[in-house]
């Protein structure tokens, strides 16, 4: 199965990003799927207007994914803008895209409601996303609730193009992971940069400690029993710990005599056990940006090999060249 997913380079990643996306990518890679993963810098232009920030964010995202375990020998990993074929296909798809289809996309409406500027790029975002998916004849696309409609648009456009010009594109299906963790933030809400409640994946030891020790808890005294299922510290801890370790903490919380401070210290230790090796890999890669560029270039070359026959067939079908 060919599984394609794209990630926008949107700043410092956090624990919610890891369990919401990265962990799933690593699982698919380990299962032997043909994983295609790209850094969506074209898409990022809808919100990022600072060229230096875009370049830095894209490099940081590459470092983050490689440090966490994305293996370029098993996963095709590249920068979206290094495959210009995607823009040519986006135009071919745009000529069969009904305006009404894009006008109904709730993501566009939601972004406008949150103060985003109404640009063509933002409006036509689903067409470029469709090109990303169809160019590589993807079988499956991991989607969350906020992106499911865009995959439906992709399928609609593939059907319209195929009906008009012949069977060029494979219809992709949604890949719904067996379980995607909803990671609570330090305030108990869903972890999100927009809420300012994140635990960073790669930062100084001091800032990571401050984030974890700052997790909001109730005022139950140390000697009193506590419900682990309502404890934000425990909810995060069980994502990092083994089932046995999580069970031990749950038992201690229920028994009393075990404070939230103790739980936070256990969480901090589990956090370092999980990510210290990743942080070391990231530092090593950051010291050799040429190596990272080489990895992305090799991924782009492989992606272009796969994209070329699809684009050629589409171009021939519509009567160009």
| Residues across the chain | 321
Query: Could you say which of 111, 238, 252, 264 is catalytic?
Result: 111
Query: Could you say which of 74, 160, 170, 190 is catalytic?
Result: 190
**Helix (H) or strand (E) segment spanning residue 37:** strand 34-39
State the alpha helices, DSSP H only, in the chain: 15-17, 23-30, 41-44, 51-68, 85-94, 99-103, 106-113, 120-123, 125-134, 148-165, 205-213, 232-240, 243-255, 260-286, 289-318
**Helix (H) or strand (E) segment spanning residue 39:** strand 34-39
Residue with tokens 């994946």: 201
Can you tell me whether residue 58 is helix, strand or coil? helix
Q: How many CB atoms lie within 10 A of CB 313?
A: 14
Q: Is 170 a residue of the active site? A: no
Q: What span, in angstroms and rounded, lies between the C-alpha atoms of 187 and 197? A: 6
* Helix 85-94 / helix 289-318 crossing angle, nearest 10 deg: 30
Tokens encoding 244: 């046995």
Can you tell me whether residue 12 is helix, strand or coil? coil
Q: What span, in angstroms and rounded, lies between the C-alpha atoms of 46 and 32? A: 34
In DSSP notation, 169-209 reads S---EEE--S-----B-TTSSBP-GGGT---BSSS-HHHHH
Q: Is 272 exposed, middle or buried (0-12, 13-18, 19+ CB in 10 A)?
A: middle
Q: Is 111 a residue of the active site? A: yes
Query: Could you say which of 160, 170, 193, 274 is catalytic?
Result: 193
Q: Please give the positions annotated as active site.
A: 111, 190, 193
């Amino acid at each position: 199965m060919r599984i394609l997913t794209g990630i926008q380079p949107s700043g410092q990643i956090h624990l919610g990003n890891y369990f919401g996306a990265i962990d799933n990518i690593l699982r698919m890679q380990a299962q032997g799927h043909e994983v295609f993963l790209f850094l969506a810098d074209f898409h990022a232009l809808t919100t990022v207007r600072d060229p230096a920030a875009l370049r830095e964010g894209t490099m940081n995202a590459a470092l983050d994914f490689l440090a966490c375990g994305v293996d370029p020998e098993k996963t095709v990993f590249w920068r979206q803008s290094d495959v210009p074929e995607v823009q040519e296909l986006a135009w071919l798809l745009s000529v069969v895209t009904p305006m009404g289809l894009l006008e109904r996309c709730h993501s566009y409406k939601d972004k406008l409601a949150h103060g985003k500027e109404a640009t063509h790029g933002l409006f036509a975002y689903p067409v470029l996303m469709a090109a990303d998916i169809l160019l590589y004849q993807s079988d499956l696309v991991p989607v969350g609730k906020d992106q499911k409609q865009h995959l439906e648009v992709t399928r609609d456009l593939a059907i319209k193009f195929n009906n008009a010009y012949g069977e060029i594109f494979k219809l992709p299906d949604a890949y719904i992971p067996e379980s995607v963790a909803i990671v609570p933030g330090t305030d108990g809400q869903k972890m999100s940069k927009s809420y300012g409640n994140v635990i960073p994946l790669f930062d100084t030891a001091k800032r990571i400690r401050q984030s974890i020790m700052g997790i909001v808890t109730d005022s139950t005294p140390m000697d009193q029993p506590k419900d682990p299922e309502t404890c934000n510290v425990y909810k995060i801890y069980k994502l990092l710990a083994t089932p046995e370790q999580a069970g031990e903490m749950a038992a201690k919380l229920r028994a009393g005599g075990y404070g939230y401070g103790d739980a936070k210290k256990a969480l901090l230790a589990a956090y370092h056990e999980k990510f210290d090796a990743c942080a070391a890999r990231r530092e090593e890669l950051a010291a050799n940006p040429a190596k990272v560029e080489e990895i992305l270039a090799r991924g782009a070359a492989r992606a272009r090999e796969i994209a070329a026959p699809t684009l050629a067939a589409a171009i021939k079908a519509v009567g160009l060249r």
